[in-house]
């Protein structure tokens, strides 16, 4: 029931843990008080009538990775009385509870974090929503609701979950806002399918994971965030999500929101100078008109288009020499062959061509977040078979990440 190992990567979270090895609980203790964890646990009905309080159990489980403890069972065996004398069953029951509204709780804590960093003072054009998904591979075949998901990094299907994530990038850092599970159609014979009642908070997670596509899940998360008062200037995603209908649906959520994304070289048509052309056809039309941009050092060409069927105006920036940032380099691994040219779309037609590319690069922190959470914050490493425990584990990983990103003065 363990997860596959992932490649080591050093980032901001690891640097924090290296610099604060002696007192890993101090930052979380301060965050619990300043962000009113106890209050928001109660308001979201995350309470226990007897035994150790929900506040106490959550605090212990959040600091476990910082203590280099892999499981609750290992923690209880160490008998670290300075943190907790609770037995493992108390923690297990807490993680499995179907009444707890973890999505609502995470939203409330994030709201407190944004209040503490004065997010309202950040200009709207400096707020970026980032949409992406990651595969959490599992070895346990009896884990509830696991299915076969195609992993593009491995080039094959793996047993596990797909987790679609919405994050917020600001000058203060990157913060995961919301997430949703996505199940594949092909299941393992030994894995029980447990789809709950969508009218309940726990049942909704499994229901939406089975019945909604990744595009639908991403759209729902953006709507919830905007309805919660977090208004971005731009929403960014990679080429997988660059579907014209999805882009138009994003723009309809709130006036003034723009999309910046990378485009895939597929059969989607764009209206260019009165003709409907694919991205490759547009490139061949303008390939002799590239000019070097001094700000990015790339050869770029800008074209104005309308998205077919929707009529939405946008600009496409074609680029030669663009390379994706690398999270890590592994000795002996064959380097990915880069395309000769890349294309980016922006619904904000007023910004400079180089600005489109520079803003798109701000999508990369979500990749760093996934890496660091998997390697150091127990993302995807929950060993229980219960699906509710898996949801709690993902929530806990993102809460750890957001609280470590929180400035020290709070």
DSSP string, 135-174: EEE---TTSTT-EEEEETTTTEEEEEEEEEEEEEEETTEE
Q: Looking at residue 1, what is its pLDDT?
A: 34
Q: Looking at residue 52, what is its pLDDT?
A: 84
- Taking alpha carbons only, the member of 202, 208, 174, 211 closest to residue 98 is 202
Q: Tell whether the model's pLDDT for residue 5 goes beyond 80.
A: no
Q: Tell whether the model's pLDDT for residue 13 goes beyond 70.
A: no
Q: Where are the domains of the chain?
A: 12-232+377-405, 251-362
State how far the Cα of 155 lies from the Cα of 159, in Å rounded to an integer: 13
In this predicted structure, which of 3-12, 133-142, 377-386 has the lowest mean pLDDT?
A: 3-12
Rounded to an integer, the average pLDDT of 381-385 is: 88
State how far the Cα of 235 lies from the Cα of 346, in Å rounded to an integer: 10
Handedness of CA 361, 366, 367, 372 (dihedral sign): positive
Assess contact for 376 and 400: CB atoms under 8 A.
no
Give whole-number Cα distances, 136 to 148, 156, 219, 225, 393, in Å.
11, 14, 21, 24, 12
Handedness of CA 363, 61, 83, 410 (dihedral sign): positive
Q: Tell whether the model's pLDDT for residue 335 goes beyond 70.
A: no
Rounded to an integer, the average pLDDT of 221-247 is: 95
pLDDT in tens, 245-290: 999 999 999 999 999 999 999 889 999 998 999 999 999 999 999 9
**Maximum distance among all alpha carbons in the chain?**
73
pLDDT in tens, 339-380: 789 999 999 999 999 999 999 999 999 999 999 999 889 899
State how far the Cα of 338 lies from the Cα of 310, in Å rounded to an integer: 31
Number of H-type helices and E-type strands within the chain: 14, 12
State how far the Cα of 235 lies from the Cα of 213, in Å rounded to an integer: 19
User: Rounded to the nearest 5°, which phi and psi values hold at 187?
Assistant: -115, 160
Give whole-number Cα distances, 4 to 149, 230, 396, in Å.
14, 35, 19
State how far the Cα of 290 lies from the Cα of 320, in Å rounded to an integer: 8
Q: Looking at residue 63, what is its pLDDT?
A: 85
Residue 404: both structure tokens together? 């470590």
Q: Looking at residue 7, what is its pLDDT?
A: 38
Q: Looking at residue 180, what is its pLDDT?
A: 96
Q: Looking at residue 4, what is its pLDDT?
A: 37
pLDDT in tens, 151-206: 887 888 899 999 999 999 999 999 999 999 999 988 888 888 888 888 888 889 99
- Taking alpha carbons only, the member of 155, 63, 91, 118 closest to residue 400 is 63
Q: Is 338 helix (H, G, I), strand (E, B) or coil?
A: coil
Handedness of CA 353, 369, 34, 20 (dihedral sign): negative
State how far the Cα of 150 lies from the Cα of 144, in Å rounded to an integer: 18
Assess contact for 14 and 376: CB atoms under 8 A.
yes
Q: Looking at residue 83, what is its pLDDT?
A: 63
Q: Residue 19's CB: how many other CB atoms inside 10 A?
A: 7
Task: State the average pLDDT for the chain.
Answer: 86
Q: Which residue has the tokens 């004398």?
A: 85
pLDDT in tens, 279-322: 999 999 999 999 998 888 899 999 999 987 788 899 999 999 88
> What is the pLDDT confidence band of residue 74, given thresholds at 50, 70 and 90?
confident
Question: Would you tell me the crossing angle of helices 244-251 and 214-227 to the nearest 10 degrees?
Answer: 10
State how far the Cα of 75 lies from the Cα of 155, in Å rounded to an integer: 37
Q: Looking at residue 29, what is its pLDDT?
A: 73
User: Rounded to the nearest 5°, which phi and psi values hold at 320?
Assistant: -110, 135
Q: Tell whether the model's pLDDT for residue 19 goes beyond 70.
A: no
In this predicted structure, which of 53-67, 218-232, 256-270 has the lowest mean pLDDT?
A: 53-67
């Amino acid at each position: 029931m363990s997860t596959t190992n992932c490649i080591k990567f050093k980032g901001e979270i690891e640097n924090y843990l290296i610099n604060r090895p002696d007192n890993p609980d101090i930052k979380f203790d301060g965050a619990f008080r300043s962000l009113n964890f106890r209050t928001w646990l109660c308001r979201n009905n995350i309470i226990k009538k007897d035994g150790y309080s929900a506040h106490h159990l959550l605090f212990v489980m959040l600091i476990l990775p910082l203590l280099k403890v892999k499981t609750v069972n290992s923690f209880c065996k160490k008998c670290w009385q300075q943190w907790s004398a609770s037995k493992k069953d108390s923690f297990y029951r807490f993680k499995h509870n179907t009444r707890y509204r973890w999505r609502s709780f995470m939203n409330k804590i994030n709201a407190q974090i944004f209040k503490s960093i004065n997010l309202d003072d950040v200009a709207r054009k400096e707020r970026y929503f980032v949409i992406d998904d990651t595969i959490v591979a599992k070895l346990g075949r009896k884990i509830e609701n696991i299915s076969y998901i195609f992993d593009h990094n491995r080039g094959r299907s793996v047993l596990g979950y797909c987790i679609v994530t919405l994050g917020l990038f600001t000058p203060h850092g990157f913060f995961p806002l919301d997430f949703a599970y996505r199940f594949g159609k092909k299941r393992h014979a030994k894995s029980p399918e447990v789809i709950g009642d969508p009218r309940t908070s726990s049942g909704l997670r499994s229901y939406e994971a089975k019945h909604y596509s990744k595009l639908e899940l991403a759209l729902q998360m953006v709507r919830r965030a905007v309805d919660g008062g977090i208004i971005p200037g731009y929403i960014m995603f990679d080429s997988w999500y660059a579907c014209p209908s999805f882009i138009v649906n994003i723009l309809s959520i709130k006036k003034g929101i723009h999309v910046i994304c990378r485009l895939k070289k597929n059969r989607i048509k764009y209206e260019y100078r009165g003709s409907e052309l694919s991205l490759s056809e547009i490139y061949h039309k303008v390939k002799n008109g590239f000019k070097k941009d001094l700000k990015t050092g790339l050869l770029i060409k800008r074209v104005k288009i309308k998205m077919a069927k929707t009529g939405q105006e946008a600009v496409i920036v074609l680029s030669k020499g663009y390379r994706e940032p690398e999270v890590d380099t592994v000795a002996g691994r064959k380097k990915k062959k880069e395309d000769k040219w890349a294309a980016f779309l922006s619904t904000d037609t007023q910004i400079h061509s180089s600005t489109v590319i520079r803003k798109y690069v701000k999508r990369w922190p979500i990749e760093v977040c996934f890496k660091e959470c998997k390697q150091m914050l127990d993302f995807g490493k929950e060993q229980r078979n219960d699906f509710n425990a898996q949801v709690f584990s993902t929530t806990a990983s993102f809460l750890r990440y957001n609280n470590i990103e929180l400035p020290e003065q709070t």
